[in-house]
Structure formats: structure tokens, C-alpha cells
Amino acid sequence: MTGKVLIIDDSPLLRRSMRRALSQLGVEEDRILEAGNGQEGLKALEAGSVSLVLLDLNMPVMDGEEFLTEMRAQQCFDNVSVLIITTESNAGRLMKLGRLGITGFLHKPFEPEDLREIAAQALGKAS
Amino acid sequence: MEQLTEDRISGMISSALERIAFVFAEPIDASTEHSANRHASITFESAGDSGTIFLSAEDGFLHELAANLLGVEMEEVSDEESSQALTELANIVGGEIILALGASSIPFQLGLPGVIEAPPTASPAASGACVESEGGVLSVSLEPA
């Protein structure tokens, strides 16, 4: 696996929990980045080398949908995979997000093993 | 708004806790006295339904939840981490409740969860449930707007 993984979620606790799951998957600590909202996420993305984004939707400052729209407006991030990790369940909204180009969805509450499995698939595609 | 039964709410909570953090919680009588002193709320809104979900939890419950999420011992969990566990749980419970109210087909907006001093006295229209894990008690109530 190459490239960095960026976790964007306004819950510091959940970011640490996801970091732990990624470490158990074999992603090195220094390859895992964190951001507390979409705006911080864009800055982290622009710093370079991100292969995969784990993206929450419901966040302050800049939510996940805004982040994804901004990100996909920049061609340089076309190869960055995005997994949506969310409590969102509305089919229409999820389809709209799907049209912005995402690798998959993980609905909260999720088991750590579910995250490891979907992240492994996404990282396998990204490497 | 559809009235969710106590059984349904407690079932949702227990299932969510088990999935996200391997916390095993059983339903208890909602009128059971407990010392839940940490509170959070989250609002929801759709074209037809709106309201607020209140969570109240005992410290022991939150320590257990946070410890399991982080993979640490309960004694290592800080006050801040307990609060973060509560707000994230409010987010998750909020998502499950609006799903039960029809969010897969009806657009719902879930607010941002936040810690509060104390929930208001429940109205006659409120519904809710209590569960208890090894760590302690969690109470959830759903207050229509």
C-alpha cells in the first residue's frame, strides 16, 4: 500500500478509533492524517500524497458534501479514493454523493472489521 | 410523528453500541433511578417531523464506551474523551432514530451533537428508553418539536 490516508471527522475520538483500525490493517502511523472538518481536510489534501480519504458528512465549518464538491472540482485529486463514513441513510442524498465520485459508503454504527475490510479494498485499488 | 416504542429504541441503542464498540447493553425500565449526570442532545428535522434527541449517561458507561473505542483501559479515559464519546453516540443514535422515522426515503437533516447541562423535563409526547452495560446506564429520550 502506498500513499497516505486522511481521516476527516469532527469527532476526535472517532478519528482515533479509525486510526487504530487502520493501524491494525497495517497502515503505518505516519501515513495516517487527520482533519476535524472539510476545510482542514482540503488543506491536508493540498499538502499532497493522499491516496484515500475517510470522510464524515455531518461536520461544522465545512461539511463532507462541500469538501467532496471542492475536491472533485480539482483534477489533481481525481485519483484520490473517498469512503463516506456517515449516519446518513437517505438514498437520494447518497446517490448525489455517489455522482461526485466515491469508492464506497460505511454506515455508522460500523464494526471496526467493516472499516478494515472496506479500507483494505480501497487501498488495494489505490496502490 | 411516528411514536417509536421503548423496545424499538432500546433495541437500536443496544445494537449500535455492540457494533461500534462491542459494548453490550441490556434494556432496563425507563423509570429506573440512575445517576446519569452527563448529557448531550442532537436535533433532527424533515418536512414532516422534527425534534430533539437527548442522551444522559453515567460516567462509568461513557468510560467503558470510550475505552472500547480507543482500545485502552477504562482508567485511562479522560473526562474530555468521555464527553467526545457521548457526542459521537448522540450522532449515531440520531442517525438510527431518523432511519427508523423514514430517513432512507425522506430527507432528514441531523444537527450537530452537543453537550448540554441537563435535558428539559420530558413532555407527555416524548418517548425513550434506558439501557445498562457493565459500565453503567444510558438513557435516551426523543422529544418531538
Closest in A59, A86, A93 to B107, CB measured: A93
Question: From the list B81, B85, B92, which residue is nearest A87 (CB)?
Answer: B92
pLDDT the model gives residue A48: 78
What distance in Å separates the CA atoms of residue B33 and residue B58, rounded to the nearest whole number?
Answer: 11
Contacts with A92 from chain B: Cβ below 8 Å: 107
- Enter the C-alpha cell of residue B6: 421503548
Q: Which residues of chain B have a CB within 8 Å of the CB of A60?
A: 112
- Find chain B residues with C-beta within 8 A of A94's C-beta: none
Go through B17-50 and write b for each residue having 16 or more CB atoms within 10 A of its CB, e for each that does not: bebbbebebebbebeeebebebbbbbbbbbeebe
Kindly determine whether residue B19 and residue A110, on different chains, have CB atoms separated by under 8 Å. Answer: yes
Q: How far apart are CA B79 and CA B82, in angstroms?
A: 5
pLDDT in tens, chain B (145 residues): 777 899 999 999 999 999 999 999 999 998 888 889 999 999 999 988 899 999 999 999 999 999 999 999 999 999 999 999 999 999 999 999 999 998 888 889 999 999 999 999 988 889 999 999 999 999 999 999 8
DSSP lists the bridge partners of residue B21 as: none
How high is the pLDDT of residue A27?
Answer: 93
Residues of B in contact with A107 (CB under 8 A): 95
Structure ipTM: 0.86
Minimal C-alpha gap between B21 and chain A (Å): 7
pTM: 0.91
pLDDT at B28: 95
For A55-82, the pLDDT digits (tens) are 999 999 999 999 999 999 999 999 999 9
Q: What is the pLDDT of residue A126?
A: 54
Q: Do A90 and B106 touch (CB under 8 A)?
A: yes
Query: Among all chains, which residue has been given the C-alpha cell 474530555?
Result: B80
Instruction: Give the cell for residue A4.
Output: 497516505
A14 CB neighbours in chain B (<8 A) are 69, 88
What residues of chain A, 54 to 113, have a C-beta less than 8 Å from chain B?
Answer: 58-60, 86-93, 107-111
B33 to chain A nearest CA, in Å? Answer: 28
Tell me the per-residue pLDDT of A34-50, one tens digit each, with 9 for 90 and over. Answer: 999 999 999 999 987 99
pLDDT of residue A77: 93
Phi-psi region at A49: left, alpha or beta (left = phi > 0; alpha = psi -120 to 50): left
For the cut 80, the answer to whether the pLDDT of residue A2 exceeds it is no
